[in-house]
């Protein structure tokens, strides 16, 4: 099965983006322990005019696959559940920090 693509759209110096990245990495570590593969991509709105027009007022944006999952803040339990659904393994495990 293909890894679940997780995309973080943000910019350097954004504290909410840093918080989102930390949550994403923590959840990804727990998912990897459960053999759920993920691919993490970061996109910088300062490097892409189209992304800047779409998302400049709502970063960070987190996508799971092609679906927008969250803006501004990422709830770890909801994020984990979304990735598990995308992977076809919807059983929610205990969230790990």
- Is 97 part of a structural domain of the chain? no
Residue 30 confidence (pLDDT): 94
Strand pairing report for 61-64 and 38-44: unpaired
Q: What range does the domain containing 18 cover?
A: 4-87
The backbone torsions φ and ψ at residue 90, rounded to the nearest 5 degrees and listed phi first, read -70, -10
- Is 78 part of a structural domain of the chain? yes
Q: Which pTM value belongs to this model?
A: 0.90
- Does the CA dihedral 57-43-17-19 come out positive or negative? positive
Q: Which residues contact 70 (CB under 8 A, 6 or more apart)?
A: 20, 60, 61, 62, 78, 79
Q: What is the CATH number of the domain that holds 50?
A: 3.40.30.10
Q: Contact at 8 Å (CB) between 7 and 41?
A: yes
Residue 97 confidence (pLDDT): 43
The residues of the chain scoring below 70 in pLDDT are: 92-97
Residue 89 confidence (pLDDT): 83
Domains in the chain, number: 1
Residue 90 confidence (pLDDT): 75
Residue among 41, 37, 36 nearest 7 (CA):
41
Tell me the three state secondary structure of residue 39.
strand
């Amino acid at each position: 099965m293909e890894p679940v693509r997780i995309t973080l759209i943000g910019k350097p110096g954004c504290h909410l983006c840093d918080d989102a990245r930390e949550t994403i990495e923590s959840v990804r570590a727990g998912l990897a322990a459960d053999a759920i593969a993920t691919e993490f991509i970061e996109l910088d709105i300062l490097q892409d005019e189209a992304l800047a027009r779409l998302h400049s007022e709502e970063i960070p944006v987190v996508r799971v696959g092609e679906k927008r999952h969250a803006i501004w803040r990422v709830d770890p339990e909801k994020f984990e559940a979304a990735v598990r659904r995308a992977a076809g393994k919807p059983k929610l495990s205990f969230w790990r920090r």
